[in-house]
Amino acid sequence: MKCPKCGRDVEPCGEVDLDGVVMPVYQCDACLVPWDLGGERFEVALTFAVDADGNCLDHETLGPLELD
């Protein structure tokens, strides 16, 4: 799998199960994205799931992955 932001090869680091549909989760340590936790903002590695159609999804919301 290629990172949707930088194009580097990434390996699966886990999976997410949504009502019996299992999707692999990937993380690109080269791409940092902002993440808010309790009102504080942190930079974290880009993490995303991939559905059966090859679409990159936000690993928490399973909505479309939005990259700035």
- Through-space distance between the first and last CA atoms of the chain, rounded to whole angstroms: 20
pLDDT digits (tens, 9 = 90+) for 36-55: 888 999 999 999 999 999 99
Give the Cα separation of 22 and 38 in Å (integer).
29
pLDDT digits (tens, 9 = 90+) for 17-41: 988 999 999 999 999 999 888 899 9
How much is the average pLDDT of 3-16?
96
Q: Is the pLDDT of residue 61 over 80?
A: yes
Domain extents for the chain? 12-58
Mean per-residue pLDDT of the chain: 92
Instruction: Let me know the angle formed at the C-alpha of 50 by 49 and 51, rounded to the nearest 5 degrees.
Output: 120
pLDDT tier at 65 (50, 70, 90 boundaries)? very high
